[in-house]
């Protein structure tokens, strides 16, 4: 910790997901009297106005809590025990047409570059960086290079984990808290479902259950994922969101868990709640004396991908040994492909502007 009081700065606090993270944080026990929550919007943009109003609203609504709120459009305020990066190019709602957030990669890469330039001088005042912005892997790769001695993690794999466990619970008709397991790999297009970690009431699932929940290979998964996206897109345009969800429910749990978020984005609701839960779990773990296992994007032997890590106030350490050899091999394959994507973005966006 940097001080006895805690300071969390949220870059992008004025957007939909940013505001949801704010509300989750102030409703949690993470912030105590005299702690400070800094809400940062984009200078000259709509979010700069929003965070100023949000500061007033929170100050009124949490009167007597002792939490201090500060709004700013100055990135020199982006320091603290934890800095949360949520800033992103706006993700439009089309309502009857799926918007693929991967299309924002180049624009968000420019945002990452700008943030990196502004945050680099603040290094001594930053405890840890939690990245929400996509591409999650690019953000972790970039800020890990700038701050090699600080915890830098992305929440993509944890979000994918929560989504998958919900679909598993629905398939098995059990309460979600009875199901555990981890998802890693690339957030979005190339997840790795660690089937060996799946548990129901702390017991391994039977093979027939696992085979019903998961595609037999990454190739089959990729094929069904594309088919599902195409089918729900067609149904969405003609019959609406409810019908699209119904079509998606016919696919295996792993496919459903990765495609459903596109429908949620399309609805205009965004996916702030699951991101907020992942952010809170990550911060709780970063401030914990006892190490906890989470699945997060981090740099490791496997590249910049999501995998199980031990995380506490002492740091973040990948623990791939809890996975099977075949799962680690899949992680290597995905890591190589993610590295290619990162290199491509770096070439297109960063080197072209040097």
Which CATH number goes with the domain that contains 108? 3.40.50.720
109: in domain: yes
2: in domain: no
* Max intra-chain CA distance, the chain: 56
Q: What global pTM score does this model have?
A: 0.95
H helix or E strand, kind and range, residue 183: strand 179-185
- Give the model confidence (pLDDT) of 234-291 as tens digits: 999 899 999 999 999 999 999 999 999 888 888 888 889 999 999 999 999 999 999 9
176: in domain: yes
Cβ(50)–Cβ(41) below 8 Å? yes
Last residue of a domain, one of 155, 186, 218: 155
Nearby residues of 10 by Cβ (< 8 Å), 6 or more positions away: 18, 21, 22, 37, 38, 39, 40, 84, 86
pLDDT at res. 95: 53
Separation between Cα atoms, residue 175 and residue 281, nearest integer Å: 20
1: in domain: no
Q: Supply the range of the domain harboring residue 124.
A: 7-155
Same structural domain for residues 134 and 111?
yes
The predicted model gives 106-132 an average pLDDT of 96
Same structural domain for residues 192 and 206?
yes
Same structural domain for residues 208 and 354?
yes
Total domain count, the chain: 2
- Give the model confidence (pLDDT) of 297-348 as tens digits: 999 999 999 999 999 999 999 999 999 999 999 999 999 999 999 999 999 8
CATH number of the domain to which 262 belongs: 3.90.110.10
Same structural domain for residues 137 and 147?
yes
Last residue of a domain, one of 102, 136, 155: 155
Same structural domain for residues 314 and 195?
yes
Q: What share of the chain is helix, strand, coil (3-state, %, to 5)?
A: 50, 20, 25
Among 8, 297, 9, 262, CA closest to 158: 297
pLDDT at res. 98: 62
Q: Across the chain, what does the average pLDDT equal?
A: 93
Same structural domain for residues 81 and 199?
no
Same structural domain for residues 224 and 118?
no
Same structural domain for residues 167 and 148?
no
- Give the model confidence (pLDDT) of 200-230 as tens digits: 999 999 999 999 999 999 999 999 999 999 9
Q: Which residue has the higher pLDDT, 291 or 47?
A: 291
Last residue of a domain, one of 95, 130, 155: 155
Same structural domain for residues 291 and 343?
yes
- Give the model confidence (pLDDT) of 140-187 as tens digits: 999 999 999 999 999 999 999 999 999 999 999 999 999 999 999 999
Same structural domain for residues 111 and 233?
no
Same structural domain for residues 82 and 175?
no
Same structural domain for residues 105 and 73?
yes
Tokens standing for residue 272: 């702030």
**102 pLDDT tier (thresholds 50, 70, 90):** low
305: in domain: yes
pLDDT at res. 1: 42
């Amino acid at each position: 910790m940097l001080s006895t009081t805690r300071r969390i700065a949220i870059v992008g606090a004025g957007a939909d997901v940013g505001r949801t993270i704010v509300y989750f944080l102030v409703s949690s026990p993470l912030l105590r009297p005299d702690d400070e929550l800094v809400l940062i919007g984009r200078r000259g943009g709509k979010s700069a106005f929003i965070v100023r109003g949000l500061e007033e609203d929170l100050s009124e609504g949490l009167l007597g809590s002792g939490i201090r709120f500060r709004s700013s459009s100055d990135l020199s305020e982006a320091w603290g025990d934890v800095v949360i990066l949520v800033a992103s190019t706006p993700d439009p709602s089309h309502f009857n047409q799926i918007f693929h957030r991967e299309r924002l990669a180049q624009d968000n890469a420019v945002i990452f570059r700008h943030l990196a330039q502004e945050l680099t001088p603040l290094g001594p005042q930053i405890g840890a960086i939690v990245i929400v912005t996509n591409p999650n892997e690019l953000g972790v790769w970039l800020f890990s290079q700038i701050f090699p001695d600080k915890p830098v993690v992305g929440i993509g794999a944890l979000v994918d984990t929560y989504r998958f466990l919900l679909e598993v619970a629905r398939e098995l008709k059990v309460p979600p808290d009875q199901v555990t397991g981890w998802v890693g790999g690339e957030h979005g297009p190339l997840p790795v479902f660690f089937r060996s970690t799946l548990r129901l009431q702390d017991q391994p699932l039977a093979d027939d259950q696992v085979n019903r929940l998961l595609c037999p290979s990454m190739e089959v998964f990729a094929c069904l994922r594309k088919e599902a996206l195409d089918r729900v897109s067609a149904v969405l345009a003609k019959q609406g969101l409810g019908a699209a969800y119904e079509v998606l429910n016919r696919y295996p749990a792993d496919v459903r868990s990765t495609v459903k978020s596109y429908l949620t984005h399309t609805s205009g609701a965004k996916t702030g709640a699951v991101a907020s839960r992942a952010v809170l779990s990550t911060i709780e773990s970063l401030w914990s004396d006892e190490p906890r296992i989470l699945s997060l994007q981090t740099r490791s032997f496997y590249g910049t991908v999501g995998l199980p890590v031990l995380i506490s106030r002492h740091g973040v350490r990948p623990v791939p040994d809890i996975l099977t050899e075949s799962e680690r091999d899949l992680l290597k394959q995905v890591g190589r492909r993610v590295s290619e994507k990162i290199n491509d973005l770096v070439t297109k966006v960063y080197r072209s502007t040097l």
